[in-house]
Structure formats: structure tokens, C-alpha cells
Copies of this chain bind each other. A is one copy, B any other.
């Protein structure tokens, strides 16, 4: 080997079986190889079973927000930067459109990119970690169309209580996803906060943007089992009483961006179209 460095390795995850996506994956793979780097590609369903190798320089995801959220839940370490290429309907988290993808990949190979460190919220139930949310947790009775009571506490103080069908606890970056559909505001990526939005509130309860300088508590109660759904795919079911601890996760997601690009501006523009 005589001191020679190993070639850098990249990893591509893609969704679905659309020919356009698969063609683009091939195009990117060939481009990366032509520059002398190593690259593998894999369909998202296989990732959920087999995971993502830890020794990669960057992850490239082609798909929509759902594919990205699943990929992130399988990341072996949170220090892997991610390039997101939009093949989704909403694609609020996807920074690059397909027509600009080769140019973006080229910049990555040449190291001409920025990294946007994006916070996640950590959710614990009864002292046990149930997951990190890049977008949000959706807390509801396990039966649709039923109500629950909730209380938000922080620093030992009850902030407010209410009755609703469900409660969405969103990150800033998730504020333009589920929480937005439920009537929440668009919140800037950099504000260290949780956006708490009640769904179908019976009480006069409205969206709240809460600082996450300290953990906060969500107590919920229902005549039915309660369910927590994180990022649309990590599901936990509990009895009719839960106490969730929510705080800034120690892990981050590193999104790849480029000079002059403001992902919050893009998220707003997509939502206000």
C-alpha cells in the first residue's frame, strides 16, 4: 500500500422503482466512478434491513421527505453529510432538484460545499428513548377520531393544558411538514425550539413555539391506548397514560448545501406556493 490513501467512498439511497430515478442513480454512480471514487447504491427498503456503511464520505438520497427520514433513522453516525435530491411531491427537506444533481455531486467530490447542522428532538417515554425526530412526533390515541388530554410542563411549571385529537411536536425544520398542515407557523431552521401544534383542539389551544434550552414534559391521557409516531415511520404504542420527555438531541443531521442557498427560504416558498 505504501502510504497510499484509500479512495473516498460514497453511498446512494433511492426510493421507488421509477425509471427516471434509477437512470439518475446510474448517471451519478458513473460520474462518481469517473472521478476515481468508490460508490454504492441501494433501494430504501433494503436500507431499512441492511443499514448504511459507516466509512462513507457523504450520503446521497434521491426521493422525497419520507425516503430521507427513513435513511436518517439508519445513519450509523450523525457526522455523515447528506445530499438530498428531490423526487418527492412535497420535498421540503430535499435541497437539490434533479436537473442540478450532477453539478451538486461534482461540488461535493471537490469539497466545495457547506454543511447545515440541523437539530433533532429526542423523545423519551417512561425514561426509555423511543427515537429522534428530524421532523416531528405525532401523539394520538391509537384509535382515530378520539380525544386525549395533554399538559406541557417545563422547569417544574405547567405551561398549559388542553384537549385535542392529537399533538404534534415538531422541530424547526419539520415546521413546514406535518405541523404546518395542522396550522402551525413556518419556523427558521436556526431557532432552537419545538413547535407544539394541537390537532382538532376542543379547547382554546393554539400553536406554541417553545425554547428547548431545557427539556420539557408532555403528559397525555386518553380512554384508549396512546401512540407516538416519529417522522411518520417509528411507531410506539403505550397505555392510556404517558409522560414524554422531549429535548434537543445530542445527534444532528448534516445537510449539504451550497453558497447562497438558504434552505428555510426554499421551504417557505414551497409551502406558500
Interface residues of A (CB under 8 A from B): 90, 138, 140-145, 154-155, 157-160, 162, 164-166, 175, 178, 180-193, 195, 199-211, 213, 227, 229, 232, 260, 262, 264-265, 268-269, 271-273
Contact = CB atoms under 8 A, between A and B. Distances in A.
Chain copies in the assembly? Answer: 4
Contact of A209 (B180, B191, B206): B191
By CB atoms of chain B within 10 A, which of A157, A175, A203, A260 has the most? A157
Contacts of A154: 262, 265
18 contacts: A138-B144, A144-B227, A145-B166, A145-B229, A145-B232, A154-B262, A157-B262, A159-B269, A160-B269, A165-B199, A182-B200, A185-B195, A185-B207, A185-B208, A186-B208, A186-B209, A188-B208, A208-B268
Given A145-B232, A166-B144, A185 B206 contact: yes
A223 B207 CA distance: 29
B160 A268 contact: yes
Nearest to A147: B181
Nearest to A208: B186
Given A144-B144, A205-B272, A209-B209, 12 more contacts: A90-B202, A144-B166, A159-B264, A164-B181, A165-B181, A175-B209, A184-B185, A185-B195, A185-B206, A185-B209, A191-B192, A206-B271
A199 B202 contact: no
B201 A188 contact: no
